[in-house]
A and B are shown apart, each in its own frame.
Chain A
């Protein structure tokens, strides 16, 4: 096995997993929703960008990417207000929210299939070619992907740590009643968190489209991976998700290089089970229960 290949693959995958998993974790930490539509919303991002490029407006990759982000944010805000908020009034609403988001995932997937057909769509990479690192060829697009993913993660962290709105998200995730006491509009924070989460997962869907292509059911694999990462990192902890994303990405790279690609998910789940047996709240879990 080639160490350089493993390092490159681990870094690339880790950066992208980070973006998807932090979105999932942000919503869980803030509004206690396990969003089963996270993967479908990842796919939705790819389709919206594809439509803006080839379906009509004919935008460039960069413009389509930038134009898709506010649309995704709006989707998140509307879903929170229209679909999740009414559930909150009832006991056991968290289980209902899982069912409702699972249903939403199927609605989005089938809607996309109805609109765009079952065939996969492609978005070409905006840079071609590759460079050689220690004898291994790496495509320039993968390098750009790493930088853009890290940029998204850094922007999210800065937003959470430095802005008034970001601090209100942190406040809600650390103490919901305390947040209400100081006058934070918690419903608005729930909407903001889901909006940001959909932006993150949808952005990942666009950025990965040149590598994996876009298909209506293509979101389940990234969702499953994000789910394992978030549980491994500790539910609700965005830092934990970040750490877990890279650990599991490097594990995946090693398993793919030594045993074979089919073994990466079993390896993840074995590691997850071991971690949860030793530390049930995950690496950096914040919830005691």
Chain B
């Protein structure tokens, strides 16, 4: 579904990602592990069109997406959920979710998708008229994931869902992500702490100083 072939990405003059390659197959759950500052978020942002890819090729569902902007990628079903959530703070939960369905493909089905998101997170239905700035960290993370689902993703790219959450909330979030994957959603997940990854994971990559290698989750668990 997603094939990344030796991409290079820079932040200004700083060369962050070196010849990164990875692959996500349909229906898979793939994790990228690495410490802060080693390029995890940069990798996801580049794949989702928020940062330019200098060289190399990224393909999504068979098409070259290397030069595409985020608006085109969202319409194709490549959807990014940011670590810092990036909610619209002065709008309601409902408005945030509806804006998730902004792309034309998802817009016509927004009522159905909203029902599914509320079924997944009844808490969001209760708080749908609340402004996002008044939500707790756990609720904000639910909105972030819910907004991603509203875009009708084919591949959901999730950046460090545990960031700023208490351990029990992290476990719940991980369980939700596993559930989505079991229901057929393809997921690319980035995480700092390998110990937080639970459930079935098809493949793991490790990112270190901008270089990605394929790793083994069980071995990583021991290192941590």
Q: When the two chains form their complex, are residues B103 and A171 in contact, meaning their CB atoms are under 8 A apart?
A: no
Is B74 within 8 A of A183, CB to CB?
Answer: yes
Q: In the bound complex, do residue A174 and residue B91 qualify as a contact, i.e. CB atoms below 8 Å apart?
A: yes
Asked if B89 and A183 sit within 8 Å, CB to CB, the answer is no
Contact A183 B87 (CB under 8 A): no
Bitwise interface map of B from 47 to 85 toward A, beta carbon under 8 Å scored 1, else 0: 011100000000000000000011101110001111001
Give the residues in chain B near A182, CB-CB below 8 Å.
Answer: 74, 99-100, 102-103, 147, 151
Q: Which of B75, B82, B86, B90 contacts A183 (CB 8 A)?
A: B75
A174 and B73 alpha carbons, distance in the complex (Å): 22
Q: Kindly identify which residue among B48, B73, B79, B99 contacts A168, using a CB–CB cutoff of 8 Å.
A: B99
Q: Is the CB of A168 within 8 A of B102?
A: yes
Judge if A119 is at the interface, Cβ distance under 8 Å: no
Smallest Cβ-Cβ distance to B73: which chain A residue: A183
Name the residue on B nearest A164 (C-beta). Answer: B102
Q: Smallest Cβ distance from A61 to chain B, in angstroms?
A: 38
Interface size on B, residues (CB 8 A): 28
Given A177-B50, A177-B82, A177-B86, is A184 in contact with B91 using a C-beta cutoff of 8 Å?
Answer: no
A183 touches B88 (CB 8 A): no
CB of B91 within 8 A of CB of A181, answer no
Determine whether the beta carbon of A183 is less than 8 Å from that of B50. no
- Please measure, in the bound complex, the distance between the C-alpha atom of A181 and the C-alpha atom of B156, giving whole angstroms: 12
Task: Kindly state whether residue A175 has any CB partner on chain B within 8 Å.
Answer: yes
A167–B81 alpha-carbon span in the complex (Å): 20
Closest to A184 in B: B102
Complex contact A181–B70 (CB within 8 A): yes
User: Is A83's CB within 8 Å of the partner chain B?
Assistant: no
Q: Say yes or no: is B208 at the interface (Cβ < 8 Å to chain A).
A: no
Does A258 count as interface, using CB distance less than 8 angstroms?
no
Query: From residue B129, how far is it (CB to closest CB) to chain A in Å?
Result: 14
- CB contacts (< 8 Å) of A178 on chain B: these are 82, 85-88
Contacts of A179 in B (CB 8 A): 88, 99
- Name 10 extra pairs, CB < 8 A, besides A170-B91, A179-B88, A182-B74: A168-B99, A170-B90, A174-B90, A175-B87, A175-B88, A177-B86, A178-B85, A181-B79, A181-B80, A181-B86
Q: Which residues of A contact B (CB under 8 A)?
A: 164, 167-168, 170-171, 174-175, 177-186, 286
17 residue pairs from A and B, CB less than 8 Å apart: A167-B99, A168-B99, A170-B90, A171-B88, A171-B99, A175-B88, A175-B89, A178-B85, A179-B99, A180-B50, A180-B71, A181-B80, A181-B82, A182-B74, A182-B99, A182-B103, A182-B147
Which residues of chain B have a CB within 8 Å of any CB of chain A? Answer: 48-50, 69-71, 73-75, 79-82, 85-91, 95, 98-100, 102-103, 147, 151
Instruction: Please list the 4 inter-chain residue pairs (A to B) with the smallest Cβ-Cβ separation, ordered nearest first.
Output: A183-B74, A178-B86, A183-B103, A174-B88
